[in-house]
Amino acid sequence: MTLKAIPLLALVTALGAGCNGRSAENPPQTAAVAGVHEHSAGSEHGFPDPQTYANRLDDPGRDDWQMPGVVVERLGCRPGMTVVDLGAGTGYFISYLSEAVGTQGRVLALDTDRSMVDRLQGRIEREALRNVKPGMITADDPALAPRSVDRILIVNTWHHISNRVEYAKKLLAALGPGGLLLIVDFTLESPHGPPPQMRLTHDTVRRELEAAGFETELLEAPLPYQYVVGGRLP
């Protein structure tokens, strides 16, 4: 990141009605890659300290609405695949992904925040996830080689990425034949997540991915507070 570090996220400029008169359908693209978050009141950007943030990410109650097993099932992983968890945070999804790709597969758990990458490393060691590799990336580049991965998972993060169309082009280039990008993010009505004016509709996400060259679809999923958008190579 080139901006001042905040746990998991770089600076966020509020989007939507009431912020420079813009709507959630056509927001400016001004922020950076990061993991799941809840905004707290009382600060300009609403991010708690790293430990509080980590506790929220790993709250057992999150399973009830995040439904990680369902998300990974929609990702369609198979043994031997290379899968990216982009904005991995503390590693909430990595054990599910590790199991899905098997011992011959590989999981790249990437984040922009050093403290989160350190936590990822600790989790990998504690849970003996030998096929998971943590990595530090910058806000504007996922640092993935062309045609090098089979699946990319981005959960509760897309609305924080700067220049999303250009970023999506890099993700498209990184996917191999038959590859899939899965974006899971909060609906406008969700009680979890960022302030509503910062959120993106699934239609907006699809338009951004299609502008980058993806073919997209809104996937059916029982998640109560989030939508799931899939993007594939044409």
CATH of the domain at 91: 3.40.50.150
Token pair recorded at residue 131: 């096929």
For residue range 35-66, list pLDDT tens digits in order.
Answer: 444 332 222 333 445 555 544 555 556 767 68
Please, what's the b/e burial string for 9-44 (b: 16 or more CB within 10 A of its CB; e: otherwise)?
bbbbebbbeebeeeebeebebbbbbbbbbbeeeeee
Predicted structure pTM score: 0.78
In a domain, 107, yes or no: yes
**Contacts with 102 (C-beta within 8 Å, 6 or more apart), sequence order:** 79, 80, 131
Q: Domain tally for the chain? A: 1
Contact assessment for residue 34 and residue 8, using Cβ atoms and an 8 Å cutoff: yes
Contact assessment for residue 73 and residue 141, using Cβ atoms and an 8 Å cutoff: no
In a domain, 19, yes or no: no
In a domain, 66, yes or no: yes
For residue 27, name the pLDDT band (cuts at 50, 70, 90): very low
For residue 214, name the pLDDT band (cuts at 50, 70, 90): very high
In a domain, 93, yes or no: yes
β-sheet bridge partners, residue 231: 181, 216
pLDDT at 167 over 70: yes
In a domain, 226, yes or no: yes
Mean predicted confidence (pLDDT) in 214-230: 97
In a domain, 21, yes or no: no
CA dihedral sign, ordered 141, 147, 149, 155: positive
Pairing of strands 149-155, 215-219: unpaired
In a domain, 4, yes or no: no
User: Which domain range does residue 115 map to?
Assistant: 50-232
Q: For the chain, how many residues are written?
A: 234
For residue 193, name the pLDDT band (cuts at 50, 70, 90): confident
Torsion of CA 25, 28, 30, 36, to 10 degrees: -10
Q: What average pLDDT is seen over the chain?
A: 80
In a domain, 104, yes or no: yes
**Contacts with 122 (C-beta within 8 Å, 6 or more apart), sequence order:** none
pLDDT at 230 over 50: yes
Mean predicted confidence (pLDDT) in 75-89: 97
Give me the pLDDT at residue 125, please. Answer: 97
